Amino acid sequence: MNMQTLHVDLAQRRYPIHVGSGLLTNKELWLPYLRGKQVLVISDENVAPHYLPPIDEALQSDGRQVGQLVLPPGEQEKTMLRFSEALHALAMLRANRDACVVALGGGVVGDLAGFAAACWMRGIDFVQMPTTLLAMVDSSVGGKTAVDLPEGKNLVGAFHQPRAVIADITTLSTLPQRELSAGLAEVVKYGAIFDEGFFAWLEDHTTDLLARRDEVIIEAILRSCQHKANVVARDETEQGDRALLNFGHTFGHALETATEYGSLLHGEAVSIGMLLAARLSAQLGRSTVHDSDRLGALLRRLQLPVELPGGHTPAYLLELMRLDKKSLSGALRLILWRGIGHAEIVRDIPESNVLAVLRA
């Protein structure tokens, strides 16, 4: 086992993020985070066959009562219906207040499992075992949990921080390349908004990242999680600068909605969205075209899309951006930048400028 650890420091408590290889098969590492007797493991059909058996075995041999809920894969399963199935699974286990939910999977599993843990008996422990790069660097850290409604993504949810995050990069060996690149988009985001040095490091390591060289992937995850942990510690419930993490996301969510979540992965939509935000910043005279070109080049080298998919009018995309839950009372509020490493919240952006970048 090869492991490094950092912590998320909250007002009430702190929790560890362990990053390394061979972590899930090392039960001494994660069993202590599960306090009670009952454990519900939630996973999906792509992940469970590879990674659930050793976890189940470790739990059984430790004398735990184990429930399993294995969902079909995909965002369309992040529903109220699946959420209530998770609660019923906890009821079947007769889960007590010291029971624990384990989320073994990507962001979909993590969001749903976390929300079930947040609601069962007004909140029980949960442990994140993320298996996608995106979940390792983003959704498993920070305590946002939710399910979707037909009316929109993540509309029902809660802030509920995990007991621990166990990011075992061994699980990335089975992750499709396209999903890996989508996760890299969120990694690039941390460089773009907070850290020019990290951005330059990513520019120097694109080949190793795509080839999943262990040390390089571990470093990318650690540096990303450190930024996320810092911002979550400053602003746990997004009253202030946690919003910077939404760089590229208002554009991205509009694209995801416009394409009906069919053709673009979240990270891919964020890739296009970040470049649009950078171009808008340049157009407003807040940053240079050189920096947006650098961002576009890095994303392209990481095999991410950077162009708007055709078939959607700028006016329609703008309409969807206005509906984004981050824009307050209709006025457009976006995360823009002053250049690589320096994101900022900008209010009252003229719609004509937004339309212009959507047209270009």
Is there a contact between 224 and 319 (Cβ–Cβ < 8 Å)? Answer: no
In 10 A of CB 114, how many CB atoms? Answer: 28
Q: CA angle 328-195-276, nearest 5°? A: 50
d(C-alpha 138, C-alpha 273), whole Å: 17
Considering 46, 64, 77, 186, which one is annotated as catalytic? 186
Considering 64, 189, 253, 279, which one is annotated as catalytic? 253
**Alpha carbon distances (Å) from 198 to 16, 179, 189, 190, 311:** 22, 21, 10, 8, 35
Residue 261 interacts with ligand ADP (CB under 6 A)?
A: no
Q: How many residues bind ligand ADP (CB under 6 A)?
A: 21
Under DSSP, the state recorded for 10 is -
d(C-alpha 325, C-alpha 213), whole Å: 37
The DSSP code sequence of 203-219 is: HHTHHHHHTT-HHHHHH
To the query of whether residue 37 is one of the catalytic residues in this protein, the response is no
To the query of whether residue 2 is one of the catalytic residues in this protein, the response is no
Number of residue whose CB is nearest ligand ADP: 106
Show contacts with ligand ADP in window 294-313 (CB under 6 A): none
Show contacts with ligand ADP in window 137-176 (CB under 6 A): 139, 171, 174-175
Which of residues 186 and 291 has its CB atom nearest to ligand ADP in the complex?
A: 186
Would you give the binding string for ligand ADP spanning residues 23-62, x where CB under 6 A is met? ---------------------x-xx---------------
Considering 26, 78, 227, 246, which one is annotated as catalytic? 246
To the query of whether residue 253 is one of the catalytic residues in this protein, the response is yes
Catalytically annotated residues: 122, 144, 186, 228, 238, 242, 246, 249, 253, 266
Chain residues that interact with ligand ADP, rule: CB under 6 A: 44, 46-47, 73-75, 105-109, 131-132, 134-135, 139, 171, 174-175, 179, 266
